[in-house]
Every structure is written in C-alpha cells, then in structure tokens.
Amino acid sequence: MPPEESTGQGAITVAHLAPELTRGLYRDMRTARDLDTEAIALQRQGVFPAYVSVRGQEAAQVASATALDPARDFVFPTYREMAVALAYGVEMVGYMATHRALWHGGLYDVMGSRFGAINAVVGGPVPHAVGWAVGERLRGDQGVAMAYFGDGASSEGDVHEAMNFAGVFTAPVVFFCQNNQWALSVPNERQVAGGSIAARAEGYGMPGVLVDGNDAGAVYAATAEAVQRARTGGGPTVIEALTYRVEPHSTSDDPGRYRDEAAADRWRRRDPIDLLRTAMLQAGHADEAFFATVDAEAARRAEQIRDGVADAPEPDGSELFTHVFRETTEELTRQHRTWQEEVEL
C-alpha cells in the first residue's frame, strides 16, 4: 500500500506552528538521523553488540517528545526511542552507552532526566507509565506520563490491562503507538484485528487519534492536545502514529526474508526530514542557509556523541551485582564472591 494511501496524506504543512518550533524539530530530527547512522557504524565496528535503527521515525519521536514538559512529565521508552531521548534533553553519551551493555539501563540519570531506562520487554513501558501517572494524580501534581510502544506490543495483554486501568482511574497518560507496520517479521494485517490501534481507545473510554507519523506538525499538534487533556484532568489518550520501519528490525535482522522492499522504498521517498524541510521552505520558516548550518551542526554533534560513547570507560565489574535485589541473597553473594576470587587471580 503506498504511503499516501496509508496515511491519507502526501505533502505536509507547518503553517500552524511557530517558526522557532519547526526549526527546533528539524534540528533534533536531523541530529537523530546522523546519530542513527553513526550508531549503525559502531555496531558494524563491534563497539555495539546490537542496535535498533529509528530511521524514518524521527518525526513521530521528536515531535511527540517536544510536546512534553521535561520539568513535569516522565517518559517511558522502549528500546527504539533514541530520537525521543535526544529531543527530551537526555544526556546522549550516557543514553547511547546502553547499547554497549556497560551498565543496567544506561549511564544517564533516569530520575534527573525524567526518562526511564531502556525497556526491551515488549509492551513493558506501558503499565509502568500508568502506575506513575496514577501516582502523580494521587499526589495532586500535574505531570503527564508518555508511554511509547509499537504496533506489535499493542497485542500484549499488559498493554490492554494498562489502558483499561488508565481509563477507569482517569490517569494522566498518553499512549503513543509508533505503528511502523512490522512487529519484527509479522505485518499489521496478521496481528492487528480491525486494522487500527487508535480505534481500540473507545473501548477504554478515552479518545483515539490516528495521525500521519511522518508529519512532524501533525504529530506535535495531536500530542500537545493529548498532553493538555491529561494535564487538566481529562484523562488518557491513545495516539497511533502511522509510519514505517524502513530499516531492519535490528542490526541482526534481514527484512528481505519476509517483506517486499519495494514498500520500504516508497516510504523512504516520503522521508519525514525531507517533508519537514520542504514544508518549512514553503511556509517561510527557514532558508537554505539555515539548513546548511543546522546540517553541519547536527553532523558534528553526532560525531561528538559517537566518540564519547566509544571512549566511555567500563564500570567496575562488581556493579553486575548491584540493583539485582533490594536485599542480597545467599546465591547472589556466592556469585559475587566467586567473581572476586577470579578477578583477583
């Protein structure tokens, strides 16, 4: 199915957004793209054991994160939200170091950045987000939880239970589904009954919004409205951002075994960064000089993060045994002692 048929849209417009906002969106999307390219290279060089690309999903990630308030809100990511982390202001060397498997969940400050540790459990961040949101409501504070998940995760029981719980308790949470149309090797039509994830929201007593995930302006507007609704007591929202996973599921995947690459090529031609750039020029939000400057800055920043990640020192091996249990067990103590004896040999 061609992307314009899938989303109902071809070109995009940003006339409804402030020029400074669109310039910030472009800057973060361009930087995320360059950093993604550097990360794939690090995996190929053996620095990262594995990596999951965000290419083609920058609009969905950056625009949704930009609609949040990092001083009040809290993000609960999966393993594919690198562009969200960047736009949200997370310290990126510490975040990307997660892919080197250096420490539990990354070297960045989870609580300080209000950005949860990378969660590789399918659907795992969603109940966590609802729990935090209910707690925020009970405290009388105005923070909003953002739960990211994919179309494959939408089939998990945890996601349905979390949405129902959020609806019953009017939790201030936004359920943001990046529907990139492939649950690893399983296409939407084989695992999403009814064809729409946003349509399920009605059953949980909340609004559901289907948005063009490659249109940064549309994603920002939909997310800002959902965040405002949650912050003012209106409860949760489901946003389904329809996009496409143009790269393999991960660096160990071969999508040629299960999908028609012609479809991926059609989506590559509808690149979210190119769409935003064209729309900004048409709206008078920027000129070619701006893009030349930002593109160069983005490349430099991506290289700096790459070098910082590659040079990050490994933590002391004894930290393997921290944060496993609140109170250590006899077996963990034995393993720690054995490790110490082997290291000291």
pLDDT score recorded for residue 288: 98
Q: Radius of gyration over alpha carbons of the chain, in Å? A: 20
pLDDT score recorded for residue 224: 98
Model pLDDT for residues 282-306, shown as the tens digit of each residue: 999 999 999 999 999 999 999 999 9
Grade residue 6 by pLDDT with cuts at 50, 70 and 90. very low
Q: CA nearest 73: which of 57, 58, 83, 84?
A: 84
- Could you give the CA distance from residue 210 to residue 198 in angstroms, rounded to a whole number? 6
Are 131 and 74 spatial neighbours (Cβ–Cβ below 8 Å)? no
Are 113 and 106 spatial neighbours (Cβ–Cβ below 8 Å)? no
- Could you give the CA distance from residue 6 to residue 329 in angstroms, rounded to a whole number? 53
Percent of the chain with pLDDT over 70: 97
> What letter represents residue 122's amino acid?
V
> What letter represents residue 111's amino acid?
M
**DSSP E strands: which ranges in 30-181?**
74-76, 145-150, 173-179
Dig out the tokens for 276 from the structure.
């935003």
> Domain 3-314 class?
alpha beta
Model pLDDT for residues 50-87, shown as the tens digit of each residue: 999 999 999 999 999 999 999 999 999 999 999 999 99
Write the DSSP assignment of 124-135 as a string of letters: THHHHHHHHHHH
Residue 95: exposure state from Cβ atoms within 10 A (0-12, 13-18, ≥19): buried
Are 237 and 147 spatial neighbours (Cβ–Cβ below 8 Å)? no
Q: Is 299 helix (H, G, I), strand (E, B) or coil?
A: helix
Domain boundaries, the chain: 3-314, 316-345
pLDDT score recorded for residue 1: 39
Torsion angle, alpha carbons of 322, 323, 325, 327, to 10? 70
Mean pLDDT value across residues 14-36? 97
Rounded (5°) CA angle 188-189-191: 65
pLDDT score recorded for residue 8: 44
